[in-house]
Homo-oligomer: A and B are copies of this chain.
C-alpha cells in the first residue's frame, strides 16, 4: 500500500472541517496532499499552509482524485457528493447522519468496532457526536459486564450546530435555532421523529444498536446548553450481572481514549481527543445499576478525531 495519501476535506471551512485539518496535522497523518472543498471557492489558512479552497462540484471532484474524502457537511450535501468521490476511488468518511443506518455502510468508532471499517463499499459513517462519546466509554463496560439498559441525558454545546449557531449564542438571536440559546436551555435538538423523540435522541438509540448491540435498551433526552464547545452526558446503566464499583473503574481506566477523573468539565475536555468520565457511582435504587458523567470535545472525538482515526485504521 501507499505510504502517503491525498486527503480531501469536504466542508473544509466549517468548524468540523477545520478541526479535521488540525487533527490530520497533529496526528501526523501521512498526507501527500490536502484538497479543500467548500460551497465557495477561496483561500484558507490551514496547519498545512495557505491552501486553495475549491467549490464543491462534480467537475472539481473528477479533476482531483484522492485517497480519502473526509466529509463535514449536511446530509443533503453528503447524499449528493459522497458517491461521486467513492466512484472516483476515494474512501469517504462521512460525518453527517445520511449514511449511518445504511446496511452497506459501516458505522465505526475505532476503539469499539474497528473491524467493521474494513467492510466498506466506499463510504464509512462517523457516528453522531454524543454516540461516539458515550460508546467510547460504555463499550468496554458492555464487553466486560454486559449492559442491559442505558438512560442518557445530554448537555450539548453550541459548536455542534456549527459556526452560525455560535453567533446565536453570543447575540441571543435565533438565526440557527428556533428559540434563543443565549442564557437558555433547548430541550429539543433536531426535528421530531417517531413517538415524540427527536432525530438526535433516536441517533443515540439506533447507532448504539448498530455499533455495539441491538439488545441494549437505550433511552435518551438531548438538550442544547449555552456553552461553546464539548458535550456532556449523564448515563444511568444497568448491567447483566453484579459488579463492584472498583471493577468498573478498573475497566474504564484500561479503556482506550477514556480518562477517568473526578469531576471532568467541558473546559477540561476542549482540545482533547479523549472522552473524560467522572462521577462514577452505584445507583442504589436498582439492582446492578450505576451512573456516570461523560464529557468530550464534540468537534474532536465526536467528529473530526473519530473520522481521522477511521482513516488511520485503513492505511
Whether B227 pairs with A184 at a CB distance below 8 angstroms is yes
Contact of A155 with B by CB under 8 A: yes
Q: How far is the CA of A197 from the CA of B227 in the complex (A)?
A: 25
What 1/0 flags go to A285-305 for Cβ under 8 Å of B?
110010101010000000000
CB-defined contacts of A226 to chain B, threshold 8 Å: 225-227
Contact of A179 with B by CB under 8 A: yes
Whether B293 pairs with A221 at a CB distance below 8 angstroms is yes
CB-defined contacts of A285 to chain B, threshold 8 Å: 149, 151, 217-219
Contact of A188 with B by CB under 8 A: yes
CB-defined contacts of A218 to chain B, threshold 8 Å: 285
Q: Given the known inter-chain contacts A179-B265, A226-B227, A234-B221, please indicate yes or no for A185 contacting B286, CB distance below 8 A.
A: no
A289 nearest in chain B by CB position: B219
Q: How far is the CA of A278 from the CA of B196 in the complex (A)?
A: 10
Q: How far is the CA of A89 from the CA of B130 in the complex (A)?
A: 56
Contact of A195 with B by CB under 8 A: yes
A230 nearest in chain B by CB position: B185
CB-defined contacts of A262 to chain B, threshold 8 Å: 188
A238 nearest in chain B by CB position: B286
Q: Given the known inter-chain contacts A187-B232, A187-B278, please indicate yes or no for A179 contacting B263, CB distance below 8 A.
A: yes
Whether A265 pairs with B186 at a CB distance below 8 angstroms is yes
Contact of A28 with B by CB under 8 A: no
Q: How far is the CA of A265 from the CA of B289 in the complex (A)?
A: 30
CB-defined contacts of A286 to chain B, threshold 8 Å: 149, 217, 219
Q: How far is the CA of A185 from the CA of B266 in the complex (A)?
A: 6
Whether B185 pairs with A279 at a CB distance below 8 angstroms is no
Q: Given the known inter-chain contacts A151-B151, A283-B219, please indicate yes or no for A263 contacting B225, CB distance below 8 A.
A: no
Q: How far is the CA of A36 from the CA of B109 in the complex (A)?
A: 60
State the copy count for this chain: 2
Q: How far is the CB of A289 from chain B (nearest CB, A)?
A: 8
What 1/0 flags go to A261-292 for Cβ under 8 Å of B?
01111110000000000111111111001010
Contact of A96 with B by CB under 8 A: no
Q: How far is the CA of A286 from the CA of B160 in the complex (A)?
A: 30
Q: Given the known inter-chain contacts A219-B286, A234-B153, please indicate yes or no for A195 contacting B281, CB distance below 8 A.
A: yes
Whether B263 pairs with A188 at a CB distance below 8 angstroms is yes
CB-defined contacts of A282 to chain B, threshold 8 Å: 195-196
A267 nearest in chain B by CB position: B184
Set B180, B219, B265, B284: member contacting A185, Cβ < 8 A: B265
Chain A positions within 8 Å of B, measured between CB atoms, are 149, 151, 153, 155, 179-180, 183-188, 195-197, 217-219, 221, 223, 225-228, 232, 234, 236, 245, 262-267, 278-286, 289, 291, 293, 295
- What would 19 A/B residue contacts be, using CB atoms closer than 8 Å? A151-B151, A153-B234, A179-B265, A183-B267, A185-B295, A186-B265, A187-B265, A187-B278, A187-B295, A195-B282, A196-B280, A196-B282, A197-B281, A217-B286, A219-B286, A219-B289, A221-B293, A223-B232, A226-B227
